Structure 1
Amino acid sequence: MARETQRLERRVTHTADRSDSSDRVGQIRDALVDRLIADDMITSSAVEAAFRTVPRHAFVPAGTPLEVVYDVDQSVITKTDEHGVHLSSVSAAYIQARMIEQAGVGPGMRVLEIGSGGYNAALLAEVVGVDGQVVSVDIDAEITDRARVLLRETGYDRRVRVLQADAVHGMPGEGVFDRILVTVGAWDICPAWLDHLAPDGVIVVPLRMNGVTRTIAFRRNGDHLTSTSSEVAGFVPLQGDGARPERIFRLPDRQGQFVSLRFDVGAPDDVRQLDGVLDTERTEVWSGVTIGLSESFADLHLWLAGFLPGFCLLAADDGTELAAERRWFPFGVVRGDSFAYLAWRPTDEGSRAELGARAFGAHGKDSAAAMSEQIQAWYQRARRGPAPTFAYWPAGTSAGAVPDNVAVLKKTHGLLMISWPVAS
């Protein structure tokens, strides 16, 4: 352990030699903050000051180009496993800013960060000030050791306390916090986190919903939680007892390449029904719903995750017919011996695209029709309305009757409800 600490200290010293005080670093950092303000990612003076003060480049691996370090939407991986799976990262600057703003962190607050790394904890320390307290916890001892070294070398060790523990089980003796920021992707909201949340507190958590993640700020509302905001984002997954591995099925094509189907829940009981499915003739069903080529429709992904049984995420190896096709999105649905995936085709106007589904399998047209029907439902019932909201009902509480336009996802420790206000 001492040798690892010395190695980390040498790495930090080398990183610091890039001169945090140099004009170039200052200009690049200020440009990042200016962009975050212009894009409404930063909306408060306290968060702005934190981002202009904390040297982000001191918390990433040595040699990382400053243009990458201070890019608005690039994360920087800090640890991978032997298979190349990302285990820890410095998250993209925009989502770090948004999470702190979503939480409403302010001076004098006591803040818990679940998922360590150092940089985000230093930002929080700047925002809460000398009268506040930041506790950062991670299950991985290598990550917490690294965070301690980095925080010490950047002068934040007296303002941030780093703990090595599986936060799923809570931190005995730590009491309650005004704000909790979960900086790893979670499939559920652990009861221990709510035990640590003050009665009027806010928890911000990147919550996975059938493979689709939103970073959601929740506030207590009686016996349950209701959202105050949400953001599109992706995070490395939670480790330890709270981890929820996906089920992945790899379907071979004639060339020996693979299309992968990833299931959060609802995986088929007998995936052998899909044997040879990529050898079948492809079919398609179009929805009649069109969108602008530069228009966001991220809420459709969430709608499909909530309302389309058999929903999954899709990936295609290079060399597959699907990879060469390009006009598709990584969202699919499996029905028996067939599967369909979200696709688009250009319209005659040239600036718009029609959404629909393409499919493989003997009953592929049925799978494609099921997806297209949900595209139409989203367009008719939610497309022009307000953004969806979220409510979480812990086990032992009752959500009551479920109204229209509400998807209910069963979690281990409660129910998550996604509501789309009816479009006018």
Structure 2
Amino acid sequence: MPDTVETDVTSADTPEQLRSAMTDKLLAEGKITSDGVERAFRTVPREVFVPEAPARQAYDVDDVVITKRNGYGVAISSVSAPRIQAFMLEQADLQPGHHVLEIGSSGTNAAMIAEIVGDKGEVTTLDIDQDVTDRATRGLAGTGYDRVNVVLGDGEQGCADHAPFDRILVTVGAWDIPPAWVNQLTEHGTITVPLRMRGVSRSITLRRDGDRLVSVSAEMAGFVRMQGEGAHEEQLLLLHGKEVGLRFDEEPPTHADKLTGALDTARVEEWTGATVGQTEPFDSLHLWLASALPGFCMLSATSDTKLVAPQNRTACPAMTDGSSLAHLALRKVSDDPRTFEFGAHGYGPEAAKLAAELAEQVRVWDRSHRSGPGPQFTIHPAGTPDEQLGEGRVIDKRHTRITISWP
């Protein structure tokens, strides 16, 4: 997500004009589809919540305004891009009179939620960082939305003082669904949350179904990660110094040291016949590979390394068996420079086997899931017996067991 500041604001571009243009664009793109969300976007003055940023940046549909970084320069709080906020608000299906909990506060989103639910509704926005809640309090007071409850607390615990909630919106990246969120939800309530599964995130709206939560929508999204009790760090394995890294959402292989020499072996290539256009999205492929492959991880590589040529140097789907690895790759198709073919590169003693397995799953995705509706996510309580989970990839978390089931 971009975090650069746009500076070419002209005197003619007033906040009101920028707000109107932003909303018109999101309507034209289909990101805003309801009257309530449109009204919120046309009404809430975003610039008040980010006084340090130019107005043009506050209203850029794709721009994220970073409001706080940690000691390593990593963003830990931000005002999300309008495009992301729009589709999450639409996902949540907010209605007048709803009681809503927002976990992760910037103030801007809480103001828009308050605009949608109206005076008969109630909005609580919660954050673990007092700098963030203080900023939200100032912004909400300065824009006339001081009826919003601003609470300092750990999102893992929800907010029992203002429960129950018709809607819970989580605007930080979560690794699990803690029991407090479910317990504080009304019988017909929903949770909209950017949930990370095997290193891949989706903003998912979940509805109660007995003791389970079942997805009703899912969108690609990325957020700063949750802090506090619900934090979960990926495990990083570095190869060849810091040139290549493997990130595991669960534990890395028990004998990961055997991977050290894998990249010194000859590369094995397996090509699939499945192609993609230069600007064609294929985000469902990453999710399919995460749900289909054993030993799944995300590979990253420095820009100057020649050890690997991954499909994406920042976050490339990969798999390992502990001594060998394979990752997703792309190559140009000679008769059309704008078209690329998916494949797999393998390294190590089992390179051919892993590359073939990864490539075959790309073909399965291409045949069966590329144009489909995507998977359903079901959240079961921890301890649910295997025979009650149904089919699909099972991902065990601290509080839950998640199944990813593709049609």
- TM-score, with structure 2 as normaliser: 0.91
d(CA) in 1 for partners of 2:261, 2:61: 43
Shift of 1:69: 2.1
Give a deviation string over 1:294-320, Cα, whole Å, max 9, x none.
322211111111111111112112321
Q: Which residue is equivalent to 2:193?
A: 205
Q: Which residue is equivalent to 1:181?
A: 169
Once the two structures are overlaid, the 10-residue window that deviates more, 124-133 or 281-290, is 281-290
- Pick the aligned partner of 2:363 from 371, 376, 383: 376
Q: Tell me, yes or no, if structure 1 residue 107 matches structure 2 residue 96.
A: yes
Give a deviation string over 1:346-395, Cα, whole Å, max 9, x none.
22441432111113323322222221121122223322332222111123
Q: Which residue is equivalent to 2:157?
A: 169
Give a deviation string over 1:58-116, Cα, whole Å, max 9, x none.
22251x23333222122111111001121111111111111111111111111000011
Stretches of structure 2 that go unaligned for 5 or more consecutive residues are: 1-8
Contact 1:287–1:356 at 8 Å: present in 2 too? yes
d(CA) in 2 for partners of 1:190, 1:200: 18
**AA aligned opposite 2:375:** P
d(CA) in 1 for partners of 2:203, 2:398: 19
- Pick the aligned partner of 2:327 from 334, 337, 341: 341
Q: Which residue is equivalent to 1:31?
A: 21
Contact 1:218–1:225 at 8 Å: present in 2 too? yes
Partner SS, residue 412 of structure 1 = coil
Q: Which residue is equivalent to 2:286?
A: 301
Q: Which residue is equivalent to 1:137?
A: 126
- Pick the aligned partner of 2:247 from 262, 277, 282: 262
Q: Which residue is equivalent to 1:146?
A: 135
Q: Pairwise mapping of residues 264-283 of structure 1 onto structure 2 (< 5 A)?
A: 264-283=249-268
Residues 147 and 402 of structure 1: is their aligned pair in 2 closer, same or farther, counting only changes over 3 Å?
closer
Residues 61 and 258 of structure 1: is their aligned pair in 2 closer, same or farther, counting only changes over 3 Å?
farther
Contact 2:154–2:228 at 8 Å: present in 1 too? yes
Residues 151 and 320 of structure 1: is their aligned pair in 2 closer, same or farther, counting only changes over 3 Å?
same
Q: Which residue is equivalent to 2:343?
A: 356
Q: Which residue is equivalent to 2:269?
A: 284
Shift of 1:280: 2.8
d(CA) in 1 for partners of 2:26, 2:56: 15
Once the two structures are overlaid, the 10-residue window that deviates more, 80-89 or 366-375, is 366-375
Q: Which residue is equivalent to 2:395?
A: 409
**Pairwise CA RMSD:** 2.1
Q: Pairwise mapping of residues 46-195 of structure 1 onto structure 2 (< 5 A)?
A: 46-60=36-50, 62=52, 64-157=53-146, 159-195=147-183
Partner SS, residue 150 of structure 1 = helix
Give a deviation string over 1:185-208, Cα, whole Å, max 9, x none.
111111000111100111101000
Once the two structures are overlaid, the 10-residue window that deviates more, 365-374 or 136-145, is 365-374
d(CA) in 2 for partners of 1:240, 1:144: 15
Contact 1:125–1:132 at 8 Å: present in 2 too? yes
d(CA) in 1 for partners of 2:162, 2:132: 20
Contact 2:235–2:251 at 8 Å: present in 1 too? no
Residues 396 and 276 of structure 1: is their aligned pair in 2 closer, same or farther, counting only changes over 3 Å?
closer
**AA aligned opposite 1:204:** T
**AA aligned opposite 1:129:** G
Contact 2:318–2:327 at 8 Å: present in 1 too? yes
Shift of 1:179: 0.6
Give a deviation string over 1:163-186, Cα, whole Å, max 9, x none.
111121233332201110001111
- Pick the aligned partner of 2:378 from 388, 391, 399: 391
Q: Tell me, yes or no, if structure 1 residue 420 matches structure 2 residue 403.
A: no
Partner SS, residue 162 of structure 1 = strand
Partner SS, residue 151 of structure 2 = strand
- TM-score, with structure 1 as normaliser: 0.88
d(CA) in 2 for partners of 1:38, 1:202: 27
Runs of 4+ deviating beyond 6 Å: none
d(CA) in 2 for partners of 1:132, 1:80: 33
Residues 108 and 22 of structure 1: is their aligned pair in 2 closer, same or farther, counting only changes over 3 Å?
farther
**AA aligned opposite 1:126:** E
**AA aligned opposite 2:226:** L
Shift of 1:398: 5.5
d(CA) in 2 for partners of 1:42, 1:304: 30
**AA aligned opposite 2:27:** I
Shift of 1:152: 1.6
d(CA) in 2 for partners of 1:96, 1:322: 39
**AA aligned opposite 2:205:** A
Stretches of structure 1 that go unaligned for 5 or more consecutive residues are: 1-18
Contact 2:166–2:185 at 8 Å: present in 1 too? yes
